[in-house]
Amino acid sequence: MPRLLNESLKENVFDLCKRIAGSHQIIAACFYGPWVCGYADKKSDVHVLLVLDKFRSKLRSYLKPLNGINAFILTVDQGAFEGDVNQGLLGEFVTEKITFPYESIVNEKYLRRQEVKSKKRIILELLENIVLEFPELSHELRIQPEYFMHEAMTRRARVFLPVTYTFLNMLRRDVRRKNVESMMRGYLEAFSELAKEGQITFSNEHIQITDSLMNAIRGRKFRFPLFLKSFQRVALLHILSVLSKMMKPLAYDEEVFTMSNRGFKSEELVFQLEDPKKYLLIPISHGFVTLSDKTGVKDFVRKTVPGEVLDMKIKEVGGVLNAVYLLTFQRNHEKQKVIVKKFRDWYGFKWFPLALWALGTKTFAVLGRSRLEKEYAVNQFLHSQGFPVPAILYFSPKQKLIFKNFIEGENLTKIVKRIISHKKEEVTAEAALVREVGRKIAEAHRLGVALGDCKPENIIVTKDGKTFFVDLEQATRDGDGNQAWDVAEFLYYSGHYVSPVSSANAAVLIAKEFIKGYLEAGGKRETVRKAGSARYTKVFSIFTPPQVLLAVSNICKKTGDE
Protein backbone atom coordinates (compact mmCIF):
# COMPACT_ATOMS: atom_id res chain seq x y z
CA MET A 1 0.00 0.00 0.00
CA PRO A 2 1.46 3.42 -0.92
CA ARG A 3 2.46 5.71 1.90
CA LEU A 4 1.44 9.31 1.32
CA LEU A 5 2.49 10.81 4.63
CA ASN A 6 5.97 11.86 3.59
CA GLU A 7 7.98 14.92 4.62
CA SER A 8 6.97 16.89 1.50
CA LEU A 9 3.30 16.39 2.26
CA LYS A 10 3.80 17.36 5.90
CA GLU A 11 5.43 20.63 4.78
CA ASN A 12 2.57 21.38 2.36
CA VAL A 13 -0.03 20.61 5.03
CA PHE A 14 1.81 22.73 7.56
CA ASP A 15 1.85 25.67 5.09
CA LEU A 16 -1.91 25.20 4.66
CA CYS A 17 -2.39 25.13 8.44
CA LYS A 18 -0.43 28.38 8.80
CA ARG A 19 -2.68 30.09 6.24
CA ILE A 20 -5.80 28.92 8.10
CA ALA A 21 -4.33 29.95 11.47
CA GLY A 22 -3.55 33.48 10.33
CA SER A 23 -2.62 35.48 13.43
CA HIS A 24 -3.45 32.59 15.79
CA GLN A 25 -0.60 30.57 17.26
CA ILE A 26 -0.52 26.94 16.17
CA ILE A 27 -0.46 24.86 19.38
CA ALA A 28 -0.36 21.45 17.64
CA ALA A 29 -1.34 19.62 14.47
CA CYS A 30 -1.56 15.96 13.44
CA PHE A 31 -2.78 13.62 10.71
CA TYR A 32 -5.53 11.09 11.49
CA GLY A 33 -7.89 8.89 9.49
CA PRO A 34 -7.39 6.40 6.61
CA TRP A 35 -3.83 7.37 5.66
CA VAL A 36 -2.56 6.97 9.23
CA CYS A 37 -4.57 3.77 9.80
CA GLY A 38 -3.41 2.15 6.56
CA TYR A 39 -6.62 1.62 4.58
CA ALA A 40 -6.50 4.66 2.26
CA ASP A 41 -6.20 4.63 -1.53
CA LYS A 42 -4.39 7.20 -3.72
CA LYS A 43 -7.47 9.44 -3.97
CA SER A 44 -8.35 9.45 -0.27
CA ASP A 45 -8.58 12.79 1.51
CA VAL A 46 -5.94 13.73 4.07
CA HIS A 47 -7.40 14.41 7.54
CA VAL A 48 -5.76 16.94 9.85
CA LEU A 49 -6.48 18.13 13.39
CA LEU A 50 -5.30 21.73 13.96
CA VAL A 51 -5.24 23.18 17.51
CA LEU A 52 -5.05 26.99 17.68
CA ASP A 53 -4.61 29.47 20.50
CA LYS A 54 -7.66 31.70 21.21
CA PHE A 55 -9.59 30.53 18.16
CA ARG A 56 -12.93 32.39 18.37
CA SER A 57 -14.93 29.90 16.33
CA LYS A 58 -13.99 27.18 18.86
CA LEU A 59 -14.56 24.48 16.25
CA ARG A 60 -14.51 24.77 12.47
CA SER A 61 -13.68 22.58 9.48
CA TYR A 62 -12.02 23.39 6.14
CA LEU A 63 -11.84 21.36 2.93
CA LYS A 64 -8.86 22.49 0.83
CA PRO A 65 -7.35 21.10 -2.41
CA LEU A 66 -3.83 19.72 -1.97
CA ASN A 67 -1.67 18.00 -4.64
CA GLY A 68 -4.61 16.49 -6.50
CA ILE A 69 -6.50 15.40 -3.38
CA ASN A 70 -8.38 17.22 -0.62
CA ALA A 71 -7.21 18.09 2.88
CA PHE A 72 -9.96 18.03 5.51
CA ILE A 73 -8.75 20.21 8.38
CA LEU A 74 -10.65 20.18 11.68
CA THR A 75 -9.66 23.33 13.57
CA VAL A 76 -10.29 23.73 17.29
CA ASP A 77 -9.53 26.28 19.99
CA GLN A 78 -6.95 25.06 22.51
CA GLY A 79 -9.25 25.68 25.51
CA ALA A 80 -12.15 23.85 23.85
CA PHE A 81 -9.83 21.01 22.84
CA GLU A 82 -8.49 20.55 26.36
CA GLY A 83 -12.04 20.76 27.74
CA ASP A 84 -12.95 17.89 25.43
CA VAL A 85 -9.84 15.97 26.54
CA ASN A 86 -10.45 16.48 30.26
CA GLN A 87 -14.26 16.30 30.41
CA GLY A 88 -15.59 15.38 26.98
CA LEU A 89 -17.21 18.80 26.61
CA LEU A 90 -17.31 18.54 22.82
CA GLY A 91 -18.76 15.06 22.95
CA GLU A 92 -15.23 13.72 22.27
CA PHE A 93 -15.65 14.53 18.58
CA VAL A 94 -12.23 16.17 18.70
CA THR A 95 -10.55 14.01 21.34
CA GLU A 96 -11.18 10.84 19.34
CA LYS A 97 -8.71 12.12 16.71
CA ILE A 98 -5.88 11.47 19.19
CA THR A 99 -7.33 8.50 21.09
CA PHE A 100 -7.19 6.56 17.82
CA PRO A 101 -4.08 6.37 15.58
CA TYR A 102 -2.59 9.73 14.59
CA GLU A 103 0.74 11.09 13.32
CA SER A 104 2.11 14.36 14.62
CA ILE A 105 2.92 17.34 12.39
CA VAL A 106 3.54 19.96 15.09
CA ASN A 107 4.19 19.58 18.86
CA GLU A 108 4.15 15.80 19.33
CA LYS A 109 4.85 16.07 23.09
CA TYR A 110 1.73 18.20 23.62
CA LEU A 111 -0.45 15.81 21.63
CA ARG A 112 0.96 12.79 23.44
CA ARG A 113 0.26 14.38 26.80
CA GLN A 114 -3.33 15.19 25.80
CA GLU A 115 -3.75 11.65 24.49
CA VAL A 116 -2.64 10.15 27.80
CA LYS A 117 -4.88 12.54 29.74
CA SER A 118 -7.91 11.58 27.65
CA LYS A 119 -7.17 7.87 27.95
CA LYS A 120 -6.66 8.19 31.68
CA ARG A 121 -10.12 9.77 31.94
CA ILE A 122 -11.61 7.07 29.71
CA ILE A 123 -10.07 4.34 31.89
CA LEU A 124 -11.43 5.90 35.10
CA GLU A 125 -14.89 6.31 33.57
CA LEU A 126 -14.95 2.70 32.42
CA LEU A 127 -13.67 1.47 35.80
CA GLU A 128 -16.46 3.44 37.42
CA ASN A 129 -18.97 1.74 35.15
CA ILE A 130 -17.54 -1.68 36.05
CA VAL A 131 -17.79 -1.01 39.79
CA LEU A 132 -21.37 0.24 39.50
CA GLU A 133 -22.47 -2.51 37.09
CA PHE A 134 -20.66 -5.35 38.92
CA PRO A 135 -20.47 -4.21 42.58
CA GLU A 136 -19.35 -7.59 43.94
CA LEU A 137 -17.62 -9.03 40.88
CA SER A 138 -15.38 -5.98 40.52
CA HIS A 139 -13.37 -7.22 43.54
CA GLU A 140 -12.33 -10.33 41.64
CA LEU A 141 -12.14 -9.13 38.02
CA ARG A 142 -8.88 -9.27 36.12
CA ILE A 143 -8.99 -6.78 33.27
CA GLN A 144 -6.90 -7.17 30.15
CA PRO A 145 -5.53 -3.79 29.00
CA GLU A 146 -7.21 -4.07 25.57
CA TYR A 147 -10.62 -3.95 27.26
CA PHE A 148 -10.52 -0.16 27.55
CA MET A 149 -9.70 0.34 23.87
CA HIS A 150 -12.52 -1.96 22.71
CA GLU A 151 -15.07 -0.70 25.23
CA ALA A 152 -14.31 2.92 24.29
CA MET A 153 -14.92 2.03 20.62
CA THR A 154 -18.15 0.18 21.36
CA ARG A 155 -19.58 2.99 23.46
CA ARG A 156 -18.57 5.54 20.84
CA ALA A 157 -20.22 3.48 18.11
CA ARG A 158 -23.47 3.26 20.07
CA VAL A 159 -23.56 7.04 20.48
CA PHE A 160 -22.55 7.87 16.89
CA LEU A 161 -23.15 4.86 14.64
CA PRO A 162 -21.37 6.08 11.43
CA VAL A 163 -17.97 6.04 13.18
CA THR A 164 -18.29 2.24 13.50
CA TYR A 165 -17.10 1.85 9.90
CA THR A 166 -13.90 3.70 10.84
CA PHE A 167 -13.27 1.31 13.73
CA LEU A 168 -13.95 -1.78 11.63
CA ASN A 169 -11.56 -0.56 8.93
CA MET A 170 -8.75 0.19 11.37
CA LEU A 171 -9.15 -3.26 12.96
CA ARG A 172 -9.23 -5.30 9.78
CA ARG A 173 -6.70 -8.10 9.63
CA ASP A 174 -3.99 -6.47 7.49
CA VAL A 175 -3.68 -3.26 9.55
CA ARG A 176 -4.96 -4.34 12.97
CA ARG A 177 -1.65 -5.01 14.71
CA LYS A 178 -0.10 -1.65 13.82
CA ASN A 179 -3.22 0.30 14.82
CA VAL A 180 -3.74 -1.57 18.10
CA GLU A 181 -0.11 -0.98 19.08
CA SER A 182 -0.51 2.72 18.24
CA MET A 183 -3.65 3.08 20.36
CA MET A 184 -2.37 1.01 23.28
CA ARG A 185 0.79 3.13 23.78
CA GLY A 186 -1.25 5.93 25.31
CA TYR A 187 -3.31 3.52 27.40
CA LEU A 188 -0.15 1.89 28.78
CA GLU A 189 1.18 5.29 29.88
CA ALA A 190 -2.17 6.06 31.50
CA PHE A 191 -2.14 2.69 33.32
CA SER A 192 1.31 3.47 34.68
CA GLU A 193 0.14 6.82 36.08
CA LEU A 194 -2.99 5.30 37.63
CA ALA A 195 -0.92 2.56 39.26
CA LYS A 196 1.40 5.16 40.81
CA GLU A 197 -1.68 6.95 42.16
CA GLY A 198 -2.89 3.71 43.79
CA GLN A 199 -6.08 3.47 41.72
CA ILE A 200 -5.21 0.21 39.96
CA THR A 201 -2.75 -2.62 40.46
CA PHE A 202 -1.15 -5.07 38.04
CA SER A 203 -1.32 -8.86 38.48
CA ASN A 204 0.32 -10.97 35.76
CA GLU A 205 -0.25 -8.17 33.22
CA HIS A 206 -3.90 -7.95 34.25
CA ILE A 207 -5.39 -4.84 35.81
CA GLN A 208 -7.27 -4.94 39.12
CA ILE A 209 -9.27 -2.15 40.72
CA THR A 210 -8.03 -1.14 44.15
CA ASP A 211 -10.37 -1.09 47.16
CA SER A 212 -9.66 2.62 47.61
CA LEU A 213 -10.91 3.42 44.10
CA MET A 214 -13.98 1.21 44.58
CA ASN A 215 -14.83 2.95 47.85
CA ALA A 216 -14.34 6.36 46.26
CA ILE A 217 -16.68 5.47 43.37
CA ARG A 218 -19.38 4.08 45.65
CA GLY A 219 -19.19 7.11 47.92
CA ARG A 220 -19.72 9.70 45.18
CA LYS A 221 -22.86 11.74 44.84
CA PHE A 222 -23.54 12.10 41.15
CA ARG A 223 -24.68 15.61 40.28
CA PHE A 224 -24.79 17.34 36.92
CA PRO A 225 -24.16 21.09 37.38
CA LEU A 226 -26.50 23.45 35.53
CA PHE A 227 -23.60 25.45 34.10
CA LEU A 228 -22.23 22.25 32.57
CA LYS A 229 -25.57 21.55 30.88
CA SER A 230 -25.59 25.01 29.33
CA PHE A 231 -21.95 24.59 28.26
CA GLN A 232 -22.78 21.32 26.54
CA ARG A 233 -25.69 22.96 24.72
CA VAL A 234 -23.23 25.52 23.34
CA ALA A 235 -20.77 22.72 22.53
CA LEU A 236 -23.51 20.91 20.62
CA LEU A 237 -23.97 23.94 18.37
CA HIS A 238 -20.26 23.88 17.53
CA ILE A 239 -20.39 20.15 16.75
CA LEU A 240 -23.45 20.56 14.52
CA SER A 241 -21.71 23.34 12.63
CA VAL A 242 -19.00 20.92 11.40
CA LEU A 243 -20.96 17.65 11.43
CA SER A 244 -22.17 17.86 7.84
CA LYS A 245 -18.59 18.26 6.58
CA MET A 246 -17.40 15.42 8.83
CA MET A 247 -19.90 13.06 7.22
CA LYS A 248 -17.91 12.91 3.94
CA PRO A 249 -14.88 11.17 5.53
CA LEU A 250 -17.26 8.82 7.36
CA ALA A 251 -19.04 8.02 4.09
CA TYR A 252 -15.66 7.06 2.63
CA ASP A 253 -15.06 4.71 5.58
CA GLU A 254 -18.46 3.09 4.97
CA GLU A 255 -17.62 2.61 1.29
CA VAL A 256 -14.26 1.00 2.09
CA PHE A 257 -15.88 -1.42 4.55
CA THR A 258 -18.86 -2.43 2.41
CA MET A 259 -16.65 -3.08 -0.65
CA SER A 260 -14.89 -5.89 1.23
CA ASN A 261 -17.98 -7.09 3.14
CA ARG A 262 -20.64 -7.81 0.52
CA GLY A 263 -24.10 -8.69 1.77
CA PHE A 264 -23.49 -7.01 5.12
CA LYS A 265 -26.61 -5.88 7.02
CA SER A 266 -26.24 -2.40 8.50
CA GLU A 267 -28.45 -3.21 11.51
CA GLU A 268 -25.72 -5.63 12.65
CA LEU A 269 -23.02 -2.96 12.49
CA VAL A 270 -22.11 -2.51 16.16
CA PHE A 271 -22.12 -6.28 16.69
CA GLN A 272 -19.24 -6.56 14.19
CA LEU A 273 -16.99 -4.95 16.80
CA GLU A 274 -15.28 -7.24 19.29
CA ASP A 275 -17.18 -7.88 22.50
CA PRO A 276 -15.20 -5.95 25.14
CA LYS A 277 -16.36 -8.38 27.85
CA LYS A 278 -14.05 -11.04 26.41
CA TYR A 279 -11.26 -8.96 27.99
CA LEU A 280 -12.86 -9.10 31.48
CA LEU A 281 -11.54 -12.23 33.17
CA ILE A 282 -12.91 -14.12 36.14
CA PRO A 283 -10.63 -16.46 38.15
CA ILE A 284 -11.83 -20.04 38.62
CA SER A 285 -10.12 -23.08 40.14
CA HIS A 286 -8.06 -23.87 37.03
CA GLY A 287 -7.59 -20.54 35.25
CA PHE A 288 -9.92 -17.84 33.98
CA VAL A 289 -13.19 -17.45 32.11
CA THR A 290 -14.42 -14.28 30.44
CA LEU A 291 -17.60 -12.31 31.05
CA SER A 292 -18.62 -13.15 27.49
CA ASP A 293 -18.50 -16.91 28.19
CA LYS A 294 -21.61 -18.87 27.09
CA THR A 295 -20.62 -22.33 28.33
CA GLY A 296 -23.49 -24.75 28.99
CA VAL A 297 -23.46 -27.98 30.99
CA LYS A 298 -22.24 -30.25 28.17
CA ASP A 299 -19.70 -27.64 27.09
CA PHE A 300 -18.39 -27.52 30.67
CA VAL A 301 -17.76 -31.26 30.72
CA ARG A 302 -16.08 -31.18 27.33
CA LYS A 303 -13.85 -28.20 28.28
CA THR A 304 -12.85 -29.15 31.79
CA VAL A 305 -12.69 -32.93 31.86
CA PRO A 306 -9.86 -34.50 29.84
CA GLY A 307 -10.32 -37.96 28.43
CA GLU A 308 -13.44 -39.99 27.79
CA VAL A 309 -16.56 -39.16 29.81
CA LEU A 310 -19.12 -41.92 30.41
CA ASP A 311 -22.61 -42.17 31.86
CA MET A 312 -23.27 -38.43 32.28
CA LYS A 313 -26.46 -37.64 34.23
CA ILE A 314 -28.12 -34.40 35.29
CA LYS A 315 -30.58 -34.53 38.18
CA GLU A 316 -32.53 -31.62 39.70
CA VAL A 317 -31.78 -31.55 43.43
CA GLY A 318 -33.67 -28.51 44.65
CA GLY A 319 -34.17 -24.82 44.36
CA VAL A 320 -37.45 -22.94 44.41
CA LEU A 321 -36.06 -19.60 43.30
CA ASN A 322 -33.17 -21.11 41.31
CA ALA A 323 -32.64 -24.36 39.45
CA VAL A 324 -30.01 -26.54 41.16
CA TYR A 325 -28.72 -29.68 39.48
CA LEU A 326 -26.37 -32.50 40.40
CA LEU A 327 -24.16 -33.41 37.46
CA THR A 328 -22.57 -36.87 37.70
CA PHE A 329 -20.32 -38.66 35.23
CA GLN A 330 -17.67 -41.36 35.08
CA ARG A 331 -14.09 -40.44 34.20
CA ASN A 332 -11.15 -42.82 34.39
CA HIS A 333 -13.33 -45.26 36.37
CA GLU A 334 -14.03 -42.58 38.99
CA LYS A 335 -17.41 -41.05 39.74
CA GLN A 336 -17.38 -37.23 39.55
CA LYS A 337 -20.05 -34.98 41.09
CA VAL A 338 -20.59 -31.29 40.34
CA ILE A 339 -23.31 -28.92 41.53
CA VAL A 340 -24.71 -26.71 38.76
CA LYS A 341 -26.75 -23.69 39.74
CA LYS A 342 -28.88 -21.75 37.26
CA PHE A 343 -29.82 -18.24 38.43
CA ARG A 344 -33.29 -17.08 37.45
CA ASP A 345 -34.71 -13.60 37.88
CA TRP A 346 -37.17 -13.37 40.76
CA TYR A 347 -40.44 -11.97 39.51
CA GLY A 348 -44.09 -12.12 40.44
CA PHE A 349 -45.39 -14.43 43.13
CA LYS A 350 -42.06 -16.11 43.93
CA TRP A 351 -40.40 -12.84 44.82
CA PHE A 352 -43.24 -10.94 46.50
CA PRO A 353 -43.60 -13.05 49.69
CA LEU A 354 -39.84 -13.03 50.20
CA ALA A 355 -39.68 -9.24 49.93
CA LEU A 356 -42.70 -8.86 52.23
CA TRP A 357 -41.19 -11.32 54.72
CA ALA A 358 -38.12 -9.14 55.36
CA LEU A 359 -39.51 -5.70 54.51
CA GLY A 360 -37.43 -2.97 56.18
CA THR A 361 -34.92 -5.44 57.62
CA LYS A 362 -33.10 -7.14 54.77
CA THR A 363 -32.81 -6.20 51.10
CA PHE A 364 -32.57 -9.15 48.74
CA ALA A 365 -30.83 -9.20 45.37
CA VAL A 366 -33.58 -9.98 42.85
CA LEU A 367 -32.01 -10.16 39.40
CA GLY A 368 -30.41 -13.43 38.45
CA ARG A 369 -27.25 -11.71 37.29
CA SER A 370 -26.87 -9.84 40.58
CA ARG A 371 -27.22 -13.02 42.62
CA LEU A 372 -24.87 -14.88 40.27
CA GLU A 373 -22.30 -12.14 40.78
CA LYS A 374 -22.59 -12.26 44.57
CA GLU A 375 -22.38 -16.05 44.66
CA TYR A 376 -19.26 -16.06 42.55
CA ALA A 377 -17.42 -13.05 43.97
CA VAL A 378 -17.95 -13.68 47.68
CA ASN A 379 -17.41 -17.44 47.30
CA GLN A 380 -14.13 -16.77 45.49
CA PHE A 381 -12.99 -14.29 48.14
CA LEU A 382 -13.83 -16.59 51.07
CA HIS A 383 -12.20 -19.57 49.36
CA SER A 384 -9.02 -17.52 48.89
CA GLN A 385 -9.06 -16.83 52.65
CA GLY A 386 -9.33 -20.52 53.54
CA PHE A 387 -12.99 -20.26 54.54
CA PRO A 388 -15.01 -23.49 54.04
CA VAL A 389 -16.95 -22.97 50.80
CA PRO A 390 -17.00 -25.26 47.75
CA ALA A 391 -14.47 -24.43 45.05
CA ILE A 392 -15.90 -22.84 41.90
CA LEU A 393 -15.00 -25.00 38.93
CA TYR A 394 -16.52 -22.84 36.22
CA PHE A 395 -18.55 -19.68 35.75
CA SER A 396 -20.75 -18.97 32.72
CA PRO A 397 -22.06 -15.38 32.93
CA LYS A 398 -24.11 -15.43 29.71
CA GLN A 399 -25.88 -18.66 30.71
CA LYS A 400 -26.15 -17.54 34.39
CA LEU A 401 -24.53 -20.80 35.52
CA ILE A 402 -22.09 -21.62 38.30
CA PHE A 403 -20.38 -25.01 38.56
CA LYS A 404 -19.12 -25.94 42.05
CA ASN A 405 -17.57 -28.89 43.82
CA PHE A 406 -20.18 -31.20 45.31
CA ILE A 407 -19.75 -31.39 49.10
CA GLU A 408 -20.53 -34.86 50.44
CA GLY A 409 -22.09 -34.69 53.89
CA GLU A 410 -25.13 -34.15 56.06
CA ASN A 411 -27.33 -31.09 55.86
CA LEU A 412 -27.24 -29.15 59.15
CA THR A 413 -31.05 -29.11 59.19
CA LYS A 414 -31.00 -32.81 60.16
CA ILE A 415 -28.57 -32.08 62.99
CA VAL A 416 -30.74 -29.23 64.31
CA LYS A 417 -33.80 -31.50 64.23
CA ARG A 418 -31.92 -34.17 66.21
CA ILE A 419 -31.05 -31.60 68.88
CA ILE A 420 -34.71 -30.60 69.08
CA SER A 421 -36.04 -34.17 69.28
CA HIS A 422 -33.51 -35.65 71.74
CA LYS A 423 -32.45 -35.01 75.32
CA LYS A 424 -29.68 -32.54 76.02
CA GLU A 425 -27.16 -35.15 77.17
CA GLU A 426 -27.72 -37.16 73.97
CA VAL A 427 -26.73 -34.40 71.56
CA THR A 428 -23.31 -33.32 72.82
CA ALA A 429 -21.65 -33.88 69.43
CA GLU A 430 -24.46 -32.08 67.61
CA ALA A 431 -24.21 -29.11 69.98
CA ALA A 432 -20.47 -28.91 69.27
CA LEU A 433 -21.25 -28.67 65.54
CA VAL A 434 -23.61 -25.74 66.18
CA ARG A 435 -20.84 -24.04 68.16
CA GLU A 436 -18.50 -24.59 65.20
CA VAL A 437 -21.05 -22.94 62.87
CA GLY A 438 -21.04 -19.93 65.17
CA ARG A 439 -17.25 -19.78 64.93
CA LYS A 440 -17.29 -19.94 61.15
CA ILE A 441 -19.90 -17.20 60.79
CA ALA A 442 -17.78 -15.02 63.10
CA GLU A 443 -14.75 -15.71 60.87
CA ALA A 444 -16.71 -14.53 57.82
CA HIS A 445 -17.77 -11.40 59.69
CA ARG A 446 -14.15 -10.67 60.65
CA LEU A 447 -13.36 -10.79 56.93
CA GLY A 448 -16.02 -8.12 56.36
CA VAL A 449 -18.51 -10.54 54.77
CA ALA A 450 -22.20 -10.89 55.58
CA LEU A 451 -23.23 -14.35 54.36
CA GLY A 452 -26.81 -13.29 53.68
CA ASP A 453 -28.58 -16.66 53.93
CA CYS A 454 -27.46 -18.62 57.00
CA LYS A 455 -30.34 -21.09 57.23
CA PRO A 456 -29.18 -24.52 58.46
CA GLU A 457 -30.22 -26.02 55.12
CA ASN A 458 -27.42 -24.00 53.44
CA ILE A 459 -24.73 -25.58 55.65
CA ILE A 460 -23.25 -29.03 55.00
CA VAL A 461 -21.34 -31.02 57.64
CA THR A 462 -18.84 -33.53 56.26
CA LYS A 463 -17.96 -36.90 57.84
CA ASP A 464 -14.87 -35.40 59.48
CA GLY A 465 -16.97 -32.65 61.11
CA LYS A 466 -16.12 -29.73 58.79
CA THR A 467 -18.87 -27.23 58.02
CA PHE A 468 -19.32 -25.85 54.49
CA PHE A 469 -21.48 -22.88 53.50
CA VAL A 470 -22.98 -23.62 50.09
CA ASP A 471 -25.33 -20.73 49.25
CA LEU A 472 -23.85 -17.23 49.00
CA GLU A 473 -26.09 -15.53 46.44
CA GLN A 474 -27.21 -12.94 49.02
CA ALA A 475 -23.75 -12.43 50.52
CA THR A 476 -22.06 -9.03 50.55
CA ARG A 477 -18.70 -7.55 51.46
CA ASP A 478 -20.28 -4.66 53.32
CA GLY A 479 -18.61 -4.68 56.74
CA ASP A 480 -21.12 -4.71 59.59
CA GLY A 481 -24.18 -3.83 57.49
CA ASN A 482 -26.00 -7.19 57.40
CA GLN A 483 -24.08 -9.29 59.90
CA ALA A 484 -26.79 -9.17 62.58
CA TRP A 485 -29.12 -10.68 59.97
CA ASP A 486 -26.81 -13.72 59.70
CA VAL A 487 -27.01 -14.35 63.46
CA ALA A 488 -30.74 -13.72 63.62
CA GLU A 489 -31.59 -15.91 60.64
CA PHE A 490 -29.59 -18.88 61.89
CA LEU A 491 -31.04 -18.75 65.40
CA TYR A 492 -34.68 -18.01 64.61
CA TYR A 493 -34.78 -20.26 61.56
CA SER A 494 -33.32 -23.13 63.61
CA GLY A 495 -35.97 -22.42 66.23
CA HIS A 496 -38.83 -22.72 63.76
CA TYR A 497 -38.39 -26.53 63.78
CA VAL A 498 -39.61 -26.57 67.40
CA SER A 499 -43.25 -27.59 67.80
CA PRO A 500 -45.63 -24.75 68.79
CA VAL A 501 -46.66 -26.82 71.84
CA SER A 502 -43.13 -27.73 72.98
CA SER A 503 -40.82 -25.85 75.31
CA ALA A 504 -38.07 -23.59 73.99
CA ASN A 505 -35.30 -25.54 75.78
CA ALA A 506 -33.80 -27.05 72.62
CA ALA A 507 -33.82 -23.68 70.84
CA VAL A 508 -32.13 -22.13 73.89
CA LEU A 509 -29.42 -24.81 73.76
CA ILE A 510 -28.84 -24.12 70.06
CA ALA A 511 -28.69 -20.36 70.68
CA LYS A 512 -26.25 -20.66 73.59
CA GLU A 513 -23.92 -23.01 71.72
CA PHE A 514 -23.98 -20.86 68.59
CA ILE A 515 -23.35 -17.61 70.49
CA LYS A 516 -20.55 -19.25 72.50
CA GLY A 517 -18.76 -20.26 69.30
CA TYR A 518 -19.48 -16.90 67.65
CA LEU A 519 -17.93 -14.91 70.51
CA GLU A 520 -14.98 -17.32 70.91
CA ALA A 521 -14.04 -16.67 67.28
CA GLY A 522 -14.12 -12.89 67.66
CA GLY A 523 -17.74 -12.13 66.79
CA LYS A 524 -19.03 -8.86 68.19
CA ARG A 525 -21.39 -8.84 71.18
CA GLU A 526 -23.14 -5.85 69.64
CA THR A 527 -23.99 -7.93 66.57
CA VAL A 528 -25.61 -10.60 68.77
CA ARG A 529 -27.51 -7.94 70.71
CA LYS A 530 -28.91 -6.47 67.49
CA ALA A 531 -30.13 -9.92 66.45
CA GLY A 532 -32.37 -9.92 69.52
CA SER A 533 -34.11 -6.68 68.61
CA ALA A 534 -37.69 -6.34 67.37
CA ARG A 535 -36.36 -5.43 63.93
CA TYR A 536 -35.41 -9.10 63.45
CA THR A 537 -37.95 -10.92 65.64
CA LYS A 538 -40.84 -9.41 63.65
CA VAL A 539 -39.47 -10.93 60.45
CA PHE A 540 -39.45 -14.48 61.83
CA SER A 541 -42.63 -14.21 63.90
CA ILE A 542 -44.73 -15.58 61.04
CA PHE A 543 -43.28 -19.10 61.30
CA THR A 544 -41.19 -19.38 64.51
CA PRO A 545 -43.21 -20.29 67.64
CA PRO A 546 -43.61 -17.29 69.95
CA GLN A 547 -42.09 -19.03 73.02
CA VAL A 548 -38.96 -19.80 70.94
CA LEU A 549 -38.80 -16.30 69.51
CA LEU A 550 -38.99 -14.73 72.97
CA ALA A 551 -36.45 -17.08 74.56
CA VAL A 552 -33.85 -16.71 71.81
CA SER A 553 -34.35 -12.95 71.63
CA ASN A 554 -33.75 -12.63 75.40
CA ILE A 555 -30.55 -14.68 75.19
CA CYS A 556 -29.25 -12.42 72.41
CA LYS A 557 -30.08 -9.27 74.36
CA LYS A 558 -28.46 -10.55 77.57
CA THR A 559 -25.34 -11.58 75.69
CA GLY A 560 -25.06 -8.07 74.36
CA ASP A 561 -25.32 -6.62 77.85
CA GLU A 562 -22.57 -8.79 79.35
CATH number of residue 122's parent domain = 3.30.460.10
| pLDDT for the residue 318 | 65
Residue 22 CA to chain centroid, in angstroms?
50
> Whole domain around residue 393: which residue ranges?
280-296+310-405
Amino acid at 91: G
Q: What percent of the chain has pLDDT over 70?
A: 85
Residue 25 CA to chain centroid, in angstroms?
45
Q: Do both 237 and 115 map to the same domain?
A: yes
| pLDDT for the residue 225 | 44
Domain endpoint, select from 353, 379, 405: 405
Of 146 and 264, the structure prediction assigns the larger pLDDT to 146
Q: Do both 78 and 117 map to the same domain?
A: yes
pTM: 0.77
Q: Do both 24 and 69 map to the same domain?
A: yes
Domain-embedded: residue 2: no
Domain endpoint, select from 351, 384, 405: 405
> What's the CA gap between 357 and 536, in Å, rounded?
11
Q: Do both 188 and 331 map to the same domain?
A: no
Domain-embedded: residue 301: no
Q: How far lies 220's CA from each of 20, 128, 198, 208, 217, in Å? A: 44, 10, 18, 20, 6
Instruction: Note the residue count of the chain.
Output: 562
- Is the pLDDT score of 231 beyond 50? no
Domain-embedded: residue 303: no
What mean pLDDT is predicted for residues 212-239?
A: 59
**Phi/psi of residue 401, nearest 5 degrees:** -120, 140
Containing 324, the helix (H) or strand (E) segment is: strand 323-331
Domain endpoint, select from 405, 431, 454: 405
Q: Do both 54 and 179 map to the same domain?
A: yes
Give 157's pLDDT tier (boundaries 50, 70, 90). confident
> What's the CA gap between 325 and 153, in Å, rounded?
39
> What's the CA gap between 357 and 482, in Å, rounded?
16
Domain-embedded: residue 1: no
Domain-embedded: residue 360: yes
- CATH of residue 378's domain is 3.30.200
Q: Do both 494 and 432 map to the same domain?
A: yes
What mean pLDDT is predicted for residues 119-148?
A: 92
Of 287 and 3, the structure prediction assigns the larger pLDDT to 287
Number of other CB atoms surrounding residue 287 within 10 Å: 10
- CATH of residue 438's domain is 1.10.510.10
Q: Do both 35 and 158 map to the same domain?
A: yes
Give 372's pLDDT tier (boundaries 50, 70, 90). confident
Nearest to 509 by CA among 394, 436, 425, 424: 424
Q: Tell me the Ramachandran region of residue 532: left when phi exceeds 0, alpha when psi lies from -120 to 50, beta otherwise.
A: alpha
Give 198's pLDDT tier (boundaries 50, 70, 90). very high
Number of domains making up the chain: 3
DSSP 227: H
Q: How many helices (H) and strands (E) does the chain have?
A: 20, 18
Name residues whose C-beta falls within 8 Å of residue 441's C-beta, 6 or more positions apart in sequence.
451, 454, 486, 487, 490, 518, 523
- Is the pLDDT score of 241 beyond 60? no
| pLDDT for the residue 52 | 96
Mind listing the pLDDT tens digit for each residue in 273-328? 899 999 999 988 778 888 888 878 777 777 766 566 567 788 877 655 567 888 88
CB 420 within 8 A of CB 456: no
Q: What percent of the chain has pLDDT over 90?
A: 48
Name residues whose C-beta falls within 8 Å of residue 532's C-beta, 6 or more positions apart in sequence.
488, 552, 553, 554, 555, 556, 557, 559, 560
Q: Do both 374 and 389 map to the same domain?
A: yes
Domain-embedded: residue 260: yes
CB 14 within 8 A of CB 69: no
Buried b (16+ CB within 10 A) or exposed e, 348-371: eeeeeeeeeebeebbebbeebbbb
Q: Do both 399 and 415 map to the same domain?
A: no
Q: Do both 94 and 120 map to the same domain?
A: yes
What is the sign, positive or negative, of the torsion defined by CA atoms of 202, 207, 211, 215? Answer: positive
Q: Do both 386 and 440 map to the same domain?
A: no
| pLDDT for the residue 219 | 80
Of 231 and 255, the structure prediction assigns the larger pLDDT to 255
Domain-embedded: residue 74: yes
Domain-embedded: residue 302: no
Q: Do both 232 and 333 map to the same domain?
A: no
CB 397 within 8 A of CB 301: no
Of 197 and 427, the structure prediction assigns the larger pLDDT to 197
